[in-house]
């Protein structure tokens, strides 16, 4: 029966999904699950978790379902575009559901099928990973999800956020989009990823940015000014907290956090200073979050 | 007799928590059965990532509590005693009666025969036991109050083929479980463990972790034989992998051969620590590019093998990228870059540290009679790997990577080895450097570290030691003792303090010298106790010697510890005690002033003369021994003095009427003790006979 053989062959050949289709498919899928689809936060953040739609909305008792893509910046991970696996700017797809639904694992595994990963064909593993963010004063328990040995998602039940206990508990899914696409598109170099189906590659969209931002983060950022800016942002945050304006106060925390990350990449923060700066960010974040929670009552 | 079978189905629980939960639950059920006198034939606990199982077979269905007469308080006892009696037996006043006994009139209560039903007992106690479980880390989810290792989904609980009904927080116990771990929407009812076990067995899921372990081990052996490679199964990794899967399938994979040029340690960390793979060696002991993956599903389409291989290739290409970039970066030219990394607040940068180490190392090289130039070079380049990308990626390989850099840049073998080993030893079990340059560098680094941290008052507390200073101090002790090396540690500490001061670092702590010596002595004590040296011998050794004689102290203590329970030990201690007891008494009672001189002219008999002669023989022996003292010979000589000493005590009365003679005899005894003390201060050592 040659027909049947052909069919099987067609089936086993993995479908290539472009980078942008992967994002679109995840948005569509989570939209169908009742999530509010919001857009990326318009500010430099280190991870999707920092978006107020996650940090602030995970607090308080009101139910909340949200999904979005978030460009994330980690200045220390820059490699001038030379390394096939490292970027200082990359994309995370973020889902937050409060309270965590009973069938979240099923929802997650089904979401993998829409981006070309059928869990029956792959070794999907939930490997212990307890998450902590000292700058956010946040902690959670969960796993990193491995697909055939590669980490593709962070799966976390928030226990604490901005120093406050989470009740009810939210579940957060963070998909590493570049990694997932390198896996589904079978690419060894992130810059070879197909961005769309018209032959545009990741390289064309971001390679120059990687090069220039690596140079900025490691060599050219004016550290003297950045230290001053950090102080100013902290002051602004404190004054806004005093005036009980939560969201603009939280924005200052995000900005301060990014300034700190650049200073860190420039190598001008000593071990002892590090803990001090992180503590300062955590304090203003806590202040902003507390006002936000009170405003929800 | 019947079976009690409990299954707790949850989302994936980490390996360590699984084991803790298994042990805790089993122990607590055993305990309650013991309390109630319930017998059982066998008990077991099993787990997979999603399932925790407790199984008791041949458990009594009921237990009869026999009828008996229980005596209460005396009828004249205060009312409170009676109330307590009623309460503890859960009875009322109507149920008790008075009865005369030999000891007086008492209250009594006749306890009726009662049957305790195991079924009821379990329904009441299972939720109580589940609630008692103490997770090392637990979590909440949804809006529930329950805390568990990971979200608990269902509780299957059966006794004697019947469902036990109880509530545990928001969950209701049942006789079913979810059989598809992914979607958790396929339920199946089970009546007993064997049908449950068979059901999963048929689907390739192995419930019993011991079977899984055996299976994985056997398959790994088989596949490595087929591939003609050697495998050292790391027990910790194996145990972890066993608890990460429930239907193990071994895949044989390969990474790109070109990565074999990267240092082996990087390959092993990548495979073993990061990816939980088993790496292999060829017949000559070189690492190969073959590795084994324990997957949790059959690789029907070959995707899983390819996927895992690509992950390792990506990780290794990352490492290789850094390795290639870093290995040729000239170590010497990079020394000034150390200025950019802070060592510690108040202790300067790593550049400052290696400058200090250079000078301290030079002093050590003088003591060891090794090349000063080489030590100066070594101390200058040993920390360069800290600024490399590769150590940034693999921090656990600091030192090791520096060694590789040195050898790839053509430095002598003893230099690269010394760099590679200079963080060693890292604990009681870790390897101790044995080569002169390795010892010198390791010692230099540790002394500089300890002096600095003590200087800025970052000393360990009883519960916290964030900078692993205990480990560093124990490292110094092991370097000395296990190489039988003696250093003037107190001088090295003193010099190190001045080196810090010369750089302008003024310590807030002014007692570094004393505190650090005490700290090192403490670690030395700890080490000796670990070697099972008797407490009194440890104390006597510490009393007799300073940290500058640590090696000698340890060897003497070790030798004495070995003979103390034998005749030699006994002879020495008894001889010594006879003399020291008399001395102590006499010195206590009268204001006797011993002048440390014995006058042989007023000896009255042979026994005195013989003892005097013996003491001189021993003294001569002690002055004749050099560095190669054989401690067993010394101890033998001391023991051999026993007949002479015994003869003296059996035939001579120390307490002579003539004061001069008495004093002279006491002088003789003191001379004897002091001679013995050349070995160690025996005063506080106990004999066991």
Dist CA B344 CA B453 (whole Å): 9
Which phi-psi region, left, alpha or beta, contains residue B324 (left: φ > 0; alpha: ψ -120 to 50)? alpha
Dist CA A128 CA B503 (whole Å): 46
Mean pLDDT across B134-151: 95
Dist CA B299 CA B280 (whole Å): 21
Instruction: Please say if the pLDDT value at position B341 is more than 90.
Output: no
Dist CA B7 CA B164 (whole Å): 12
User: In chain A, which residues have their Cβ closer than 8 Å to the Cβ of B244?
Assistant: 125, 127
Contact criterion met (CB below 8 Å) for B294 and B368: no
Give the tokens for residue B307. 């996927």
Quickly state the pLDDT bin for A272 (edges 50, 70, 90): low
Quickly state the pLDDT bin for A268 (edges 50, 70, 90): confident
3-state secondary structure (DSSP) of residue A86:
coil
Dist CA B272 CA A158 (whole Å): 29
Q: Go through chain B and tell me how many residues it has.
A: 689
Instruction: Please say if the pLDDT value at position B219 is more than 70.
Output: yes
DSSP letter, residue B641:
T
What pLDDT shows up at residue B689?
52
Of A86, A168, A183, nearest to B142 by CB-CB distance is A168
> Per-residue pLDDT tens for B377-400?
999 999 999 999 899 889 999 999
3-state secondary structure (DSSP) of residue B532:
coil
Please count the residue pairs, one from chain A and one from chain B, whose beta carbons lie less than 8 angstroms apart.
120
Instruction: Please say if the pLDDT value at position A7 is more than 50.
Output: no
What is the longest distance spanned by two Cα atoms in chain B?
Answer: 106
Q: Which residues contact B584 (CB under 8 A, 6 or more apart)?
A: none
Substitution target from B140, B152, B255, B389 for chain A, most A beta carbons within 10 A: B140
3-state secondary structure (DSSP) of residue B625:
coil
**Residue B545, class by beta-carbon neighbours within 10 Å (0-12 exposed, 13-18 middle, 19+ buried)?**
buried
Among B227, B289, B204, B294, which residue's Cα sits nearest to residue A149? B294
Average pLDDT, rounded, for chain B:
92
Instruction: Please say if the pLDDT value at position B79 is more than 80.
Output: yes
Whether B389 has its CB under 8 Å from any CB of chain A: the answer is: no
Dist CA A230 CA A245 (whole Å): 20
Give A259 to chain B, closest Cα distance, Å: 20
Instruction: Please say if the pLDDT value at position B32 is more than 50.
Output: yes
Instruction: Please say if the pLDDT value at position B684 is more than 90.
Output: no
Dist CA B32 CA B422 (whole Å): 53
Give the tokens for residue A31. 């939209």
Give the bridge partners for B64, in sequence order.
B115
Contact criterion met (CB below 8 Å) for B630 and B687: no
Among A239, A186, A258, which residue's Cα sits nearest to residue A16? A186
> Per-residue pLDDT tens for A169-208?
999 999 999 999 999 999 989 999 999 999 999 999 999 9
Strands in B96-101's sheet, in edge-to-edge order, are B68-74, B104-111, B96-101
Of A86, A141, A183, nearest to B137 by CB-CB distance is A141
What pLDDT shows up at residue B688?
62
Q: Is the complex ipTM higher than 0.95?
A: no
Substitution target from B307, B392, B453, B457 for chain A, most A beta carbons within 10 A: B307
**Residue B530, class by beta-carbon neighbours within 10 Å (0-12 exposed, 13-18 middle, 19+ buried)?**
exposed
> Per-residue pLDDT tens for A114-151?
999 999 999 999 999 999 999 999 999 999 999 999 99
Quickly state the pLDDT bin for B104 (edges 50, 70, 90): confident
Q: What is the dihedral of CA B220, B224, B225, B226, to 10 degrees?
A: 110
Residues 150-189 of A with CB under 8 A from B: 150, 157, 159, 167-169, 171, 182-183, 186, 188
Whether A143 has its CB under 8 Å from any CB of chain B: the answer is: yes
Dist CA B20 CA B136 (whole Å): 8
Contact state of A99 with B143 under an 8 Å Cβ cutoff: yes
Substitution target from B11, B18, B138, B141 for chain A, most A beta carbons within 10 A: B141
Give A237 to chain B, closest Cα distance, Å: 29
Substitution target from B203, B271, B303, B347 for chain A, most A beta carbons within 10 A: B303
Q: How many CB atoms lie within 10 A of CB B475?
A: 26
Whether A109 has its CB under 8 Å from any CB of chain B: the answer is: yes
Substitution target from B19, B139, B386 for chain A, most A beta carbons within 10 A: B139
Dist CA A19 CA A197 (whole Å): 9
Mean pLDDT across B138-159: 96
User: In chain A, which residues have their Cβ closer than 8 Å to the Cβ of B48?
Assistant: none
Contact state of A126 with B142 under an 8 Å Cβ cutoff: no
User: In chain B, which residues have their Cβ closer than 8 Å to the Cβ of A82?
Assistant: 321
Q: Least CA distance to A12: which residue of chain B?
A: B301
Dist CA A157 CA A142 (whole Å): 6
Is the model more confident about B337 or about A248? A248
Q: How many CB atoms lie within 10 A of CB B608?
A: 20
Mean pLDDT across B25-41: 93
Instruction: Please say if the pLDDT value at position A5 is more than 80.
Output: no
Substitution target from A128, A140, A146 for chain B, most B beta carbons within 10 A: A128
Contact state of B293 with A149 under an 8 Å Cβ cutoff: yes
Dist CA B639 CA B645 (whole Å): 10
Instruction: Please say if the pLDDT value at position B89 is more than 90.
Output: no
User: In chain B, which residues have their Cβ closer than 8 Å to the Cβ of A105?
Assistant: 11, 182-184
Dist CA B397 CA B323 (whole Å): 13
Q: Least CA distance to B345: which residue of chain A?
A: A272
Give the tokens for residue B612. 């005097």
Of A121, A123, A128, nearest to B296 by CB-CB distance is A123
Cα separation values, B271 from A211, B198, B291, B315, B509, Å: 31, 34, 8, 9, 45
Of A100, A119, A188, nearest to B142 by CB-CB distance is A100
Instruction: Please say if the pLDDT value at position A33 is more than 60.
Output: yes
Instruction: Please say if the pLDDT value at position B22 is more than 90.
Output: yes
Instruction: Please say if the pLDDT value at position B256 is more than 80.
Output: yes
Instruction: Please say if the pLDDT value at position A84 is more than 90.
Output: no
Output B280-284 pairs: Cβ under 8 A, ≥24 positions apart: B280/B224, B280/B227, B280/B229, B280/B230, B280/B231, B281/B229, B281/B230, B281/B231, B281/B232, B282/B229, B282/B230, B283/B228, B283/B230
Give B15 to chain A, closest Cα distance, Å: 8
> Per-residue pLDDT tens for B149-181?
999 999 999 999 999 999 999 999 999 999 987
Cα separation values, A63 from A33, A59, A97, A163, Å: 14, 10, 8, 20
User: In chain B, which residues have their Cβ closer than 8 Å to the Cβ of A122?
Assistant: 297, 303-304, 307
Residues 460-489 of B with CB under 8 A from A: none
Dist CA A37 CA A94 (whole Å): 10
> Per-residue pLDDT tens for B590-616?
667 777 788 888 888 899 999 999 999
Q: Which residues contact B21 (CB under 8 A, 6 or more apart)?
A: B13, B47, B52, B133, B135, B149
Dist CA B218 CA B222 (whole Å): 6
Give B629 to chain A, closest Cα distance, Å: 49
Q: Which residues contact B411 (CB under 8 A, 6 or more apart)?
A: B331
Instruction: Please say if the pLDDT value at position B675 is more than 80.
Output: yes
Whether B153 has its CB under 8 Å from any CB of chain A: the answer is: yes
Q: Give phi and psi for B605, each to the nearest 5.
A: -140, 175
Q: Give phi and psi for A66, each to the nearest 5.
A: -145, 150
Contact state of A83 with B244 under an 8 Å Cβ cutoff: no
What pLDDT shows up at residue B121?
93
User: In chain A, which residues have their Cβ closer than 8 Å to the Cβ of B150?
Assistant: 141
Dist CA B505 CA B514 (whole Å): 19
What pLDDT shows up at residue B64?
83
Whether B12 has its CB under 8 Å from any CB of chain A: the answer is: yes
What pLDDT shows up at residue A6?
46
Mean pLDDT across B20-37: 94
Contact state of B304 with A122 under an 8 Å Cβ cutoff: yes
Whether the full predicted model's pTM is greater than 0.90, yes or no, is: no
Give the tokens for residue B113. 């025969």
Give B244 to chain A, closest Cα distance, Å: 8
Q: Which range is least confidently modeled, A101-105, B205-209, B303-307, B622-626?
A: B622-626
Among A178, A222, A2, which residue's Cα sits nearest to residue A86? A178
Instruction: Please say if the pLDDT value at position A274 is more than 90.
Output: no
Instruction: Please say if the pLDDT value at position A251 is more than 90.
Output: yes
Dist CA B323 CA A63 (whole Å): 49
Contact state of A271 with B184 under an 8 Å Cβ cutoff: no
Among B394, B403, B362, which residue's Cα sits nearest to residue B379? B362
Quickly state the pLDDT bin for B273 (edges 50, 70, 90): very high
Dist CA A64 CA B211 (whole Å): 44
> Per-residue pLDDT tens for B289-331?
999 999 999 999 999 999 999 999 989 988 998 899 899 999 9
What pLDDT shows up at residue B63?
85
Whether B333 has its CB under 8 Å from any CB of chain A: the answer is: no
User: In chain A, which residues have their Cβ closer than 8 Å to the Cβ of B311?
Assistant: 148-150
Dist CA B143 CA B152 (whole Å): 13
Among B646, B638, B654, which residue's Cα sits nearest to residue B583? B654
Whether B240 has its CB under 8 Å from any CB of chain A: the answer is: no
Q: Least CA distance to A272: which residue of chain B?
A: B345
Mean pLDDT across B417-424: 97
Substitution target from A82, A112, A148, A219 for chain B, most B beta carbons within 10 A: A148
Instruction: Please say if the pLDDT value at position A280 is more than 50.
Output: yes
């Amino acid at each position: 029966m040659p027909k049947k053989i052909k069919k099987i062959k067609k089936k086993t050949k993995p479908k290539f999904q472009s980078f942008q289709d992967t994002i679109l498919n995840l948005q569509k899928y989570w939209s169908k699950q009742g999530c509010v689809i919001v857009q990326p936060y318009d500010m430099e953040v280190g991870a999707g978790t920092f978006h107020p739609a996650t940090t602030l909305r995970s607090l308080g008792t009101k139910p909340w379902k949200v999904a979005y893509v978030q460009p994330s910046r980690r200045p220390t991970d820059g490699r001038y575009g030379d390394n096939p696996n490292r970027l200082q700017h990359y994309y995370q797809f973020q889902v937050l559901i409060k309270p965590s639904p009973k069938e979240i694992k099923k929802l997650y595994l089904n979401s993998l099928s829409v981006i070309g990963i059928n869990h029956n064909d792959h070794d999907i593993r939930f490997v212990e990973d307890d998450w902590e963010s000292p700058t956010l004063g946040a902690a959670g328990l969960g796993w990193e999800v491995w697909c055939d040995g590669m980490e593709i998602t962070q799966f976390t039940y928030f226990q604490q956020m901005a120093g406050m206990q989470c009740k009810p508990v939210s579940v957060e899914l963070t998909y590493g989009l570049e990694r997932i696409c390198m896996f589904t598109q079978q690419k060894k170099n992130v810059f070879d990823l197909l961005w769309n189906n018209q032959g545009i590659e990741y390289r064309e969209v971001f390679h120059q940015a990687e090069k220039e931002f690596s140079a900025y983060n490691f060599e050219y950022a004016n550290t003297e000014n950045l230290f001053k800016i950090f102080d100013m942002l902290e002051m602004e945050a404190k004054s806004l907290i005093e005036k009980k304006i939560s969201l603009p106060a939280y924005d200052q925390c995000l900005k301060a956090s990014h300034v700190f990350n650049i200073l860190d990449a420039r190598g001008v923060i000593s071990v002892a200073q590090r803990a001090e700066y992180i503590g300062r960010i955590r304090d203003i974040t806590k202040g902003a979050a507390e006002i936000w929670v009170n405003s929800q009552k | 007799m019947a079976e009690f079978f409990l299954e707790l189905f949850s989302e994936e629980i980490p390996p360590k928590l699984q084991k803790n939960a298994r042990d805790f639950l089993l122990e607590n059920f055993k305990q309650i059965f013991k309390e109630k006198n319930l017998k059982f034939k066998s008990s077991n606990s099993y787990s997979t990532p999603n399932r925790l199982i407790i199984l008791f077979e041949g458990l009594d269905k009921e237990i009869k509590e026999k009828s008996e007469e229980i005596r209460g308080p005396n009828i004249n006892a205060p009312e409170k005693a009676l109330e307590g009696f009623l309460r503890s037996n859960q009875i009322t006043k109507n149920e008790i009666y008075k009865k005369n006994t030999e000891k007086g009139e008492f209250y009594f209560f006749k306890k009726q025969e009662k049957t305790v039903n195991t079924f009821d007992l379990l329904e009441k106690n299972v939720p109580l036991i589940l609630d008692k479980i103490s997770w090392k880390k637990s979590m909440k989810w949804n809006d529930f109050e329950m805390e568990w290792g990971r979200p608990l989904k269902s509780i299957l609980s059966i006794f004697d083929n019947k469902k036990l009904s109880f509530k545990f927080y928001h969950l209701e116990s049942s006789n079913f479980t979810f059989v598809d771990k992914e979607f958790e929407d396929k339920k199946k009812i089970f009546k007993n463990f064997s049908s449950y076990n068979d059901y999963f067995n048929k689907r390739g899921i192995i419930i019993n972790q011991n079977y899984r372990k055996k299976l994985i081990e056997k398959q790994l052996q088989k596949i490595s034989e087929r591939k003609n490679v050697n495998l050292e199964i790391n027990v910790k990794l194996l145990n972890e992998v066993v608890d990460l899967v429930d239907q193990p399938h071994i895949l044989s994979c390969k990474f790109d051969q070109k990565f074999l040029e990267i240092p082996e340690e990087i390959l092993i960390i990548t495979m073993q620590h990061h990816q939980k793979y088993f790496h292999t060696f060829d017949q000559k002991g070189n690492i190969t590019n073959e590795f084994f993956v324990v997957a949790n599903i059959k690789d029907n389409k070959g995707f899983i093998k390819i996927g895992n291989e690509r992950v390792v290739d990506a990780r290794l290409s990352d490492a290789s990228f850094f390795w290639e970039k870093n290995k040729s970066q000239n170590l010497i030219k990079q020394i000034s870059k150390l200025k950019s990394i802070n060592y510690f607040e108040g202790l300067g940068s790593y550049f400052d540290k290696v400058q200090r180490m250079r000078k301290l190392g030079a002093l050590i090289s003088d003591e060891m009679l090794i090349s000063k130039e080489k030590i100066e070079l070594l101390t200058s380049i040993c920390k360069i790997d800290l600024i490399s990308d590769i150590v940034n990626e693999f921090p656990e390989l600091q030192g090791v990577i520096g060694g590789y850099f040195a050898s790839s840049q053509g430095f002598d073998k003893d230099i690269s080895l010394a760099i590679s080993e200079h963080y060693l030893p890292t604990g009681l079990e870790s390897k101790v450097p044995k080569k002169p340059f390795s010892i010198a560098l390791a010692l230099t680094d540790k002394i500089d570290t300890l002096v600095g941290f003590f200087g800025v008052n970052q000393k360990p507390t009883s519960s916290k030691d964030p900078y692993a200073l205990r480990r560093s101090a124990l490292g110094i002790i092991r370097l000395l003792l296990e190489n039988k090396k003696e250093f003037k540690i107190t001088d090295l500490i003193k010099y190190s303090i001045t080196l810090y001061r010369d750089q302008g670092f003024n310590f807030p702590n002014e007692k570094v010298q004393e505190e650090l010596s005490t700290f090192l002595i403490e670690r030395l004590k700890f080490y000796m106790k670990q070697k099972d040296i008797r407490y009194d011998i440890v104390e006597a050794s510490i009393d007799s010697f300073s940290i500058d004689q640590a090696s000698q102290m340890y060897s003497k203590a070790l030798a004495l510890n070995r003979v103390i329970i034998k005749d030699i030990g006994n002879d020495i201690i008894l001889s010594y005690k006879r003399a020291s007891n008399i001395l102590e008494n006499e010195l206590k009672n009268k204001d006797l002033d011993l002048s440390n001189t014995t006058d042989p002219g007023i000896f009255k008999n042979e026994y005195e003369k013989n003892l005097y002669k013996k003491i001189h023989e021993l003294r001569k022996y002690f002055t004749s021994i050099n560095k190669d003292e054989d401690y067993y010979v010394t101890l033998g000589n001391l023991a051999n003095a026993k007949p002479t000493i015994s003869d003296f005590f059996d035939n001579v009365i120390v307490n002579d009427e003539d004061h001069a003679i008495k004093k002279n005899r006491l002088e003789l005894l003191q001379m004897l003790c002091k001679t013995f003390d050349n070995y160690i201060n025996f005063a506080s050592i106990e004999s066991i006979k």
